[in-house]
Amino acid sequence: MRNNTPAWIGLGLLGVAAIILVLTHGDKLPGGLAHDSFARIAMGVALLIAIGGSVAASYSGNAGLFLKQAVTWLGIGLALVVVYAFRPELTMVAQRTLGALVPGTPVELSVRNLPSSRQSAARGTVAITAGRGGHFSADALVNGSRVTFLVDTGASVVILTPEDARRAGINTGMLRYSAPVSTANGKTFAAPVRLNEIRIGSISIHDVRALVSKPGQLSTSLLGMSFLRQLRSYRVSGNQLVLER
């Protein structure tokens, strides 16, 4: 019976709380505390007494072990609270670390403490870390499919390799290579297309003019000015390319 004492105390507390709720009228208790808030507090305290008391009883005669485990669980609880409270900042740190370790990964430079209904309208700022050769590669989604671009401000339009074009849902067998382009190897022709969307991090540009190169002419798709000029700004800062929507 002695080991059940905390449970009986908890039940007694719930009984007292129920009587108080029945005897009081209106939506709030004296002091302005709402009925539902009072009920949640009473339930929490009762559970704490019942569970905590039972655990303490099981460690009877071994106070050192009980204290050690109690401190451990308290530390875990505080750590979880800290992680939850600082989750936007920790997310940014994780993104920046990933961006440094994997060049081309877009990193959000601003944390939006906005409701989800307003986040889509918020202006995004994304940074891309340069690779070993000093070039900027950008991991993007083209029509929902992943494509890695080489950022090329000298290219007037976005240019996709045939492989990336097929990955983005373009039927390359129906393309007409009618647009003249100049490359390092001379003049050639590419196929004009329209891309529904190019997304880099939180930055999304719709209805992007692009070209598809002939097979074997490009090893990497190029992120050209038909995308970049639709941004608010783009600039190089240190070893990062900063894109702002």
Structurally, the chain folds into a number of domains equal to 2
> Does residue 145 lie in a domain region?
yes
- pLDDT tops 70 at residue 89: no
Give the list of residues 6+ apart from residue 117 with CB closer than 8 angstroms, or none. Answer: none
Q: Are 111 and 89 in contact (CB under 8 A)?
A: yes
One domain for residues 219 and 118 = yes
Query: How far is the C-alpha of 202 from the C-alpha of 141, rounded, in Å?
Result: 11
One domain for residues 122 and 74 = no
Range of the structural domain that residue 124 is part of: 104-244
End residue of a domain, out of 54, 85, 116: 85
One domain for residues 215 and 131 = yes
End residue of a domain, out of 31, 54, 85: 85
Mean pLDDT confidence for 22-27: 61
Token pair recorded at residue 119: 């986040």
Decide which of 55 and 170 is more confident: 170
Model pLDDT for residues 107-157, shown as the tens digit of each residue: 877 544 434 443 444 457 898 988 877 889 999 999 999 999 999 999 999
> Does residue 150 lie in a domain region?
yes
State the pTM of this model.
0.58
> Does residue 151 lie in a domain region?
yes
One domain for residues 181 and 210 = yes
One domain for residues 112 and 81 = no
Decide which of 10 and 159 is more confident: 159
Residue 66's identity, in one-letter code, is F
pLDDT value of residue 111:
45
